[in-house]
Amino acid sequence: MAAKKKAKSEQPANAVAAARGRKGGGSTFSPRKSWEFFKSIAGTIALFLILRTFFVEAYRIPSGSMIPSMLVGDWLFVNKLRFGPHIPFTDVNLPGYAEPQRGDIVVFISPLQIDQPWDPTPILVKRLIGMPGDTIYSRAGVVHINGEAQRQGYAAGLPGSPGDAADPLFDWQKRVQLKASRFGAAPEQPTVDDWGPLVVPEGRFWMMGDNRYNSKDSRFWGFVPRANVRGRPLFVYYSWNADDSDRPWPALTDIRWSRIGHRFK
C-alpha cells in the first residue's frame, strides 16, 4: 500500500520533468535555433560592411602633415557618401551628392609612391589646393593659384622648420611644368619652396598638407585622379596625445577631451 502511494506521489513530478524535456529545457541541439543565430550574426556583419563601404568609415591620423587642422592621434569619421562611395574590388564609383571643392579636406587613395614599395598606394588625408584647369606654382614657399597668392602653410618660417630643399621625387614635375608662362618660367630644379607653374589636368586634383614642411603630397607624387577620392572627414570621435605623451598607457590616460566632437570645415 505504501509503495503504491509513493508511486502516485512521484508521478506528477516525473510528468513535469518529461514535459520540460519535450519543450527543449535541456541542452539538446536545435538546427533551427543554430540557423537563426547564424542569420542574426550574418545580418549584423552585412549591415556593418554596407555602412562602412557606402556611408561612413573610421580613419586614424598617423602623421603631422595636417597640423593644426588634424593632430596625430585623432580618430575621425569619414563621410563616404558625399563624393560618391567606391564599390570594393572594382573601378566603379557611385554618384555622390557633392563634388570636391578647393579648400576641402579630402580622404583619397594616393597615386603610386615609388619610394615605399611596402605600401605604394596608402590612404591619405590632405587639403585640395588645385582644381582641374588651375595653374599652380610656389615661390619662396607661397603657393599661387592662377596668379593669386594663397595663405601660407602651418610652420612656414618658424624656427626649426626644415625649410627649402630639393628632392629626387620632385623630378616628375620636369615633364609637365610650363617652360614659359605669364607667371614666369619653372625653376630648373623644383624644390619644396619653388616649383611650377603646372596646369592641373582635367579630372585630377592637386593635394597638399597644411603642415607644408612636414607633408609628403602632390609635390612628391603628382596629381590625384578624381576616381581616387574616398570621402570627406566629418568629426573627431576620439583623440589622444600620440606625439609626446609621457604618461603610461597614453591612449587611455592622455585623451584630448577637447578634440572629441571637433568638426572639420
Whether the CB-CB separation of 79 and 58 falls below 8 Å is answered with no
Burial (CB count <10 Å: 0-12, 13-18, 19+), residue 91: exposed
User: What tens digit of pLDDT does each residue of 232-261 get?
Assistant: 999 999 999 998 888 898 899 999 999 999
Q: Distance between CA atoms of 67 and 39, rounded to whole angstroms?
A: 45
Domains of the chain by start residue, with CATH: 57-156+163-259 (2.10.109.10)
User: What tens digit of pLDDT does each residue of 81-106 get?
Assistant: 999 988 877 888 889 999 999 999 99
pLDDT at 164 over 90: no
Q: Distance between CA atoms of 188 and 208, rounded to whole angstroms?
A: 22
User: What tens digit of pLDDT does each residue of 40-61 get?
Assistant: 777 777 665 666 566 678 999 9
Residues 6+ away with beta carbon under 8 Å from 2: none
pTM: 0.80
pLDDT at 23 over 80: no
